[in-house]
Structure 1
Amino acid sequence: MRFKIGFIFFCCMSTFVYGQNHIQYADSIRVSSAIPELSYAVISGDKILEINTLGLHSIDLKDVATLNDRFHIGSNTKAMTAFIIAKYVEKGKLKWNTQFFDLFPDFKKTAKPEYYDITLEKLLSHQARIQPFQGENDPAVPDFKGNPREKRNQFGRFILTLDPVEINSAHTYVYSNAGYTLATMMLEKATGKSWEQLIDHVFNKDLKLDVKLSWPENQIAKDTWGHSFENNKLVPVPSNTDYHLDYTEPAGDINIKLTDYIKFIQLNIKGLQGQDNYLKASTYHFVHKGIESYSLGWFNSYENNQDFSTHSGTAGTYYTIAAIDRKKFIGYIIFTNSFNEATVNGVRMLMRKLKKDYGS
């Protein structure tokens, strides 16, 4: 018994010392990288091992960062969209190998033949050869009309008329925001509900997370301001800025509090540990590891004999990253409210430090 008490005390003291060191280290990175606000957490499936938030809501405000602050998570939305789809696969509404044109046969008339065999799984793992639509050198898109779901359908029909991207042995997938629009269209068709309705149903009603769309509200409420990088300086971006993702919202347009995002990552950690929760453990295993390189909403990363699910996200004003150590079952999350090279480099330095200290 004496050994057990001593061991527990040692573990608690180690975590406390790590936490103190990491606060100083993280804040030094935040300052040197000119990141207005930086929040991070290290978690297990059922515990928060460390959590901190540092800095200010904006370079132009004196509002101090809090754990109630919301961050736009960009492409980390993909894992959440894939999570919803996985739930409806479990319910039998879809199968991973369901073909797109089985649900949208009329789209085949104008689509390129190379797309005829695309499936839900291929779309979510970026193997469907869909044009990327990542904001740079994108084809011109018509101005579609209607509600978000109607616009997505029009956009989907349009992108299937475009030439497919080549995949070869060196590049087994082509990262595509538009591919997630097509996968979401399949979900909407199978359920009769829009992506926006399903986000609310799954994350807010079922899981009791406070998930919202687009940028955090910083005009009416005191909250984080994203910062773009213009003329070599950070520029605060108000939430009422005219901003939209051009019909690829399911690939990157959620905002959330760190404390709620932690709960989502913990579900994934528990699932990878073999525990059924909102999804079955077998589903989590397939979502994370079912497909090499990029699975369903997660990159597969192998570092120094370690095994990670990882993803980062930005829409140009926030930068977030999440990683799950699939051997030690530890999650690492970093949220920031700026995006430029200095932000990315600073976040990577902090992530390496956290992984080294908790993963060794």
Structure 2
Amino acid sequence: MKKIIVILFLTITTVGYGQNTVHFADSIRKAYNVPELSYAVVDSKSTLEIAALGRHSIDLPDTATLNDRFHIGSNTKAMTAFIIANYLEKGRLKWTTKFFDLFPEWKEKSKPEYATITLQDLLSHKARIQPFQGEDGPKIPEFKGTNQEKRKQFGQFVLTLEPVELSDKIPFIYSNAGYTLATLMVEKITGKSWEQLVEKIFNSDLKLNVKLSWPENQKQKDTWGHSFENGKLTPVPSNVDYHLDYTEPAGDINIKLKDYIKFIQLNLAGLKGQDNYLKAETYKFIHKGIKNYSLGWYNIYENGKELSTHSGTAGTYYTLVHIDRMNYKAYIIFTNSFNIDTQQAVRLLMRKLKENYGS
């Protein structure tokens, strides 16, 4: 009887949180002019709360649904690290594999400072690779061929550039280009492109219905990203000519929130010590094997808590994920706009979710 009462209390409490949070989230969304906002709180086995609020675009009446797709920007990095980890477990790579062990013919034209960089260095942003974030950085030549061929040409170009400096105060340099180099390594040992590996692992094996680039919004109703121009949000159609300067493995996946939850739950279960698609020991290394920034996740210890966190944007969507590694809960927020107001709205909602669910 006591057990039934406890379960009933937890159910009522969760429903109460959900009702309160939806009202709070929608008021925040409206106050900060976020067109669409979806969020979820999950543990390794269940979804504790989930909601989709707002509209696909500021110019459309379409109502948000849980079947909407969002571009997740740099939260793609954790998925690329996941792909690579799969082949590490198969014995095809090691975290300590050196880049030039696989591409010895590139070494002569590359800067000598990169001679010993490893797969682990690239994924944890410790290889001293130029960042290539946004419009900053060196001018990139025009490359030709398939996406994979362009990544190779870009990788060769990146390795001719001066390395950035690291120090005790700057222990890593966040680099989208570093993820291109890491991807070249897994492409080399598998004989498959990153796009093919995404299709195999996330779609064929895990059934996550992952797609690349912007969500399609011209042939069907779905989210429109919104850029911030001249002080206002501007909807961006999916047929806009756009590329990430050959750093797609660092930030160019779109996915439904419900499917992304499945990916996060694999990570939560692994952190709890349960083998699934990857081994539990692999998840633990991915999340906390390296200080500051591990493999696709910021590795944070503060106020007696352990967190894996990451945000993502390519300028038109903004996503934020926090994994509480002590309580084995995750908090996920997806939006289809990006500016200071969107970031503030997401911060406020994240704080509220954590207050409600004990993190």
TM class, shorter-length = over 0.9
SS at match of 2:277: coil
> For residue 229 of structure 2, what is the amino acid of its counterpart?
E
> For residue 282 of structure 2, what is the amino acid of its counterpart?
T
> For residue 32 of structure 2, what is the amino acid of its counterpart?
S
**How far apart are residue 137 of structure 1 and its match?**
2.1
Q: How big is each residue's C-alpha offset from its partner over 1:99-133, in whole Å with a ceiling of 9 and x where there is no partner?
A: 00000011101111100000000000000000000
Aligned residues: 359
**How far apart are residue 304 of structure 1 and its match?**
2.4
CA distance in 2, matches of 1:114, 1:355: 43
> For residue 281 of structure 1, what is the amino acid of its counterpart?
A
**How far apart are residue 289 of structure 1 and its match?**
0.5
CA distance in 1, matches of 2:135, 2:305: 33
**How far apart are residue 302 of structure 1 and its match?**
2.6
**Aligned residue number for residue 231 of structure 2:** 232
Under a length normalisation based on structure 1, what TM-score does the superposition of the two structures give? 0.99
Is 1:221 aligned to residue 220 of structure 2? yes
CA distance in 2, matches of 1:303, 1:317: 30
**Aligned residue number for residue 301 of structure 1:** 300
CA distance in 2, matches of 1:300, 1:345: 22
**Aligned residue number for residue 57 of structure 1:** 56
> For residue 253 of structure 1, what is the amino acid of its counterpart?
D
SS at match of 2:281: helix
**Aligned residue number for residue 34 of structure 1:** 33
Q: How big is each residue's C-alpha offset from its partner over 1:244-302, in whole Å with a ceiling of 9 and x where there is no partner?
A: 00100000000000000000000000000000000000000000000010000000123
CA distance in 1, matches of 2:228, 2:268: 34
**Aligned residue number for residue 90 of structure 2:** 91
Query: Any gaps of 5 or more consecutive residues in structure 1?
Result: none
CA distance in 2, matches of 1:354, 1:304: 18
Is 1:150 aligned to residue 162 of structure 2? no
**How far apart are residue 357 of structure 1 and its match?**
1.5
CA distance in 1, matches of 2:143, 2:358: 48
Query: Any gaps of 5 or more consecutive residues in structure 2?
Result: none
Taking only the aligned residue pairs, the percentage that are identical comes to 69
Instruction: Please list every run of at least 4 consecutive aligned residues from structure 1 whose deviation after the TM superposition is greater than 3 angstroms.
Output: none
> For residue 140 of structure 1, what is the amino acid of its counterpart?
K
Under a length normalisation based on structure 2, what TM-score does the superposition of the two structures give? 0.99
| 1:110-121 matched pairs, under 5 angstroms | 110-121=109-120
Q: How big is each residue's C-alpha offset from its partner over 1:218-241, in whole Å with a ceiling of 9 and x where there is no partner?
A: 000100000000000000000000
> For residue 307 of structure 1, what is the amino acid of its counterpart?
E
| 1:145-224 matched pairs, under 5 angstroms | 145-224=144-223
Q: How big is each residue's C-alpha offset from its partner over 1:49-91, in whole Å with a ceiling of 9 and x where there is no partner?
A: 0000000000000000001100000000000000000000000
SS at match of 1:54: strand
CA distance in 2, matches of 1:341, 1:302: 26
**Aligned residue number for residue 14 of structure 2:** 15
CA distance in 1, matches of 2:101, 2:136: 31
> For residue 45 of structure 1, what is the amino acid of its counterpart?
S
Is 1:343 aligned to residue 342 of structure 2? yes
> For residue 234 of structure 1, what is the amino acid of its counterpart?
L
**How far apart are residue 6 of structure 1 and its match?**
1.2
SS at match of 2:199: helix
SS at match of 2:292: coil
**How far apart are residue 356 of structure 1 and its match?**
1.6
SS at match of 2:53: strand
**How far apart are residue 303 of structure 1 and its match?**
3.6
> For residue 170 of structure 1, what is the amino acid of its counterpart?
K
| 1:260-339 matched pairs, under 5 angstroms | 260-339=259-338
Root-mean-square deviation (CA, aligned residues, Å) is 0.6
**Aligned residue number for residue 43 of structure 2:** 44
Is 1:247 aligned to residue 225 of structure 2? no
CA distance in 2, matches of 1:232, 1:269: 39
CA distance in 1, matches of 2:182, 2:317: 25
